[in-house]
Structure 1
Amino acid sequence: MFGVSFGGGQQRPSNFLHTNHDQSIVDEVRNTEVVKAIARRVDFLLACYFPNLHSLYTNVLQDLCKHDGNLKPNWEGCCFAAASLNFQNAVTFSHRDYLNLLFGQCAVYSAGSFNYKKGGHLILWDLKLILEFPPGCIIFFPSAMIRHSNTAIQDSETRHSLTFFSASGLFRWRHNNFMSDKDFVAGASRDERATWDEHRRNLWQTGLKLLRSM
């Protein structure tokens, strides 16, 4: 994984850390024109189908990087804060990405050489859907909300994936005026805490509004 994240023990938002060797590989892949084009395409599609959500992602990432000069986004023109790259024949078991924004979207780009009729399907367990996922396609879905996995391919085939996501902790940090929930609650007045609690209770309604395409 590479990019900006917050959660899993971090004290504040930061870029994922790698060894010098791994970082050189990440930089090489991230800076290829093909990958940059995919990132721009993902951003464009999110803006088309979920314009309100795209605005939220864009504004939060820009605010975070402006507030902390140590934060480095992966690409210009891409609102997702982080990405994960899987080479060869990666297969995931059924799971939810609990650290991502609950009502947000993750984007998955499929690549490689495989028969998508026989393998590499995306399974959305809660929706009882099995989707063909051909190379060169991009799928958006709320990975924190829907249990998902993918099927294996043949031993002679290859399948790669590039996943774009933003951790929910980044949105909470920004909403708390650049501090953690713990620090905000510790210093909040009674009125501030009441407003904060009400925001949390109504967050599902906020999510529904952001997911509207028009």
Structure 2
Amino acid sequence: AFARWFPLPYYHLRRAMQKLSEHDTDIKPPFEGSVYPAACANLGPRTCCRWHHDINNYPGIPCWILALGDFNYKLGGHLVLPQLKIYIEFPPGASFLLSSAGLKHGNTPIQAGEKRYSFTQYCPGRLLSYVAYGFKLGRDFSEAEKAAMDEAAGESWRQQLARFSTPASLPRDRRWVRRQEKKEARGLV
């Protein structure tokens, strides 16, 4: 779902994680088949998150949230996006992609006797900064140096926002990623 609906952020993260694993071969994703560098399981048994921003996550990479458990999703467990003033039914087994750093989010409580868990995959923002800064920490550079390196690596706010597809650009963005992946396979990138 991530690659299909967010092709440019997916490709950006995949390339950054590829660079990171080439730099340090001991670094691996939490599990095979995932491009995300981090994951978290909330084991409840009545997982409910208050409205919040995940300020340490990378805003330009949507996190992936999976709802699990045994609860009546019509009565509780809704995904809440208060800035957009919407509640979304979020049944067990459903997943949702959102910029957890950019959008305040949470969920509603479930009914007594029900169980709700969640599993989330995400990207810490400082990890991509570490890659952009040549595998050095941000504290090693001035603000001006960091801004220049962010811009060069495609990490500025403007560049992060530009990677989010619109309905009109989504087919074009998918084609671009497929072309890049074909070039990579031929060793041209």
Identity, % of aligned positions = 34
Equivalent residues in 2 for 1:11-50, closer than 5 Å:
45-50=1-6
Question: Which residue of 144, 161, 181 corresponds with 1:208?
Answer: 161
Query: For residues 111 and 198 of structure 1, do their structure 2 counterparts lie closer, same or farther at Cα, with a shift above 3 Å needed?
Result: closer
| Deviation digits for residues 12-56 of structure 1 (CA, Å, limit 9, x no counterpart) | xxxxxxxxxxxxxxxxxxxxxxxxxxxxxxxxx111011111011
Counterpart CA distance in 2 for 1:147 and 1:115 is: 24
TM-score, normalised to structure 2, is 0.80
Name the amino acid aligned to 2:3.
A
- Determine which of 73, 97, 120 is the counterpart of 2:29: 73
Partner residue of 1:96 out of 30, 43, 53: 53
CA positional deviation for 1:65:
2.1
The alpha-carbon deviation at position 195 of structure 1 amounts to 3.1
Seen in structure 2, the aligned counterparts of structure 1 residues 162 and 101 have a Cα distance that, compared at 3 Å, is: same
Q: Structure 1 residue 146: deviation in Å?
A: 0.9
> Is 1:149 equivalent to 2:149 in the alignment?
no
Gaps of 5+ in 2: 174-189
Number of residue pairs aligned between Structure 1 and Structure 2: 166
Q: What 5-or-longer segments of structure 1 have no aligned partner?
A: 1-44
Taking a change above 3 Å as real, the CA distance of residues 193 and 156 of structure 1, as seen in their structure-2 partners, is closer
Query: C-alpha deviations, 1:72-101, integer Å up to 9, x for none?
Result: 321222111111101221111111000001
- The 8 Å contact of residues 92 and 149 in structure 1, kept in 2 or not, is answered as yes
Indicate if the aligned counterparts of 1:65 and 1:73 stay in contact, CA closer than 8 A. no
- Could you say which residue in structure 2 is the equivalent of 1:125? 82
Deviation beyond 6 Å, 4+ runs, structure 1: none
Letter in 1 for 2:140: D
Q: Is contact 2:9–2:60 with CA below 8 Å preserved after alignment?
A: no
| Residue 133 of structure 2: aligned partner | 176
Which residue matches 2:70? 113
Matched-pair contact (CA < 8 Å) for 2:133–2:146: no
Alpha-carbon separation, structure 2, partners of 1:58 and 1:197? 17
Partner of 1:126, secondary structure, is coil
User: In structure 2, do the counterparts of structure 1 residues 172 and 114 end up closer, same or farther at CA, with 3 Å as the change threshold?
Assistant: same
Question: Is the 1:60–1:170 Cα contact (8 Å) retained in structure 2?
Answer: no
Residues 53, 104 of structure 2: 8 Å contact kept:
yes
Alpha-carbon offset, residue 199 of structure 1? 5.5
Task: State the Cα distance separating 1:154 from its structure 2 match.
Answer: 1.4
Q: 8 Å contact 2:66–2:96 — kept in the other structure?
A: yes
Alignment RMSD (CA, Å): 2.4
Give the number of the structure whose residues are more often helix, by fraction: 1
Sort the Cα spacing of 1:198 and 1:52 in 2 relative to 1 into closer, same or farther, 3 A: closer
- SS of the aligned residue for 2:12 comes to helix
Question: Which digits, 9 at most, give the CA deviation of each residue in 1:150-173, with x for residues without a partner?
Answer: 111112111111011010001101
Q: In the alignment, is the contact (CA less than 8 A) between 2:129 and 2:150 conserved in 1?
A: no
Q: What is the distance in 2 between the residues matched to 1:92 and 1:197?
A: 32
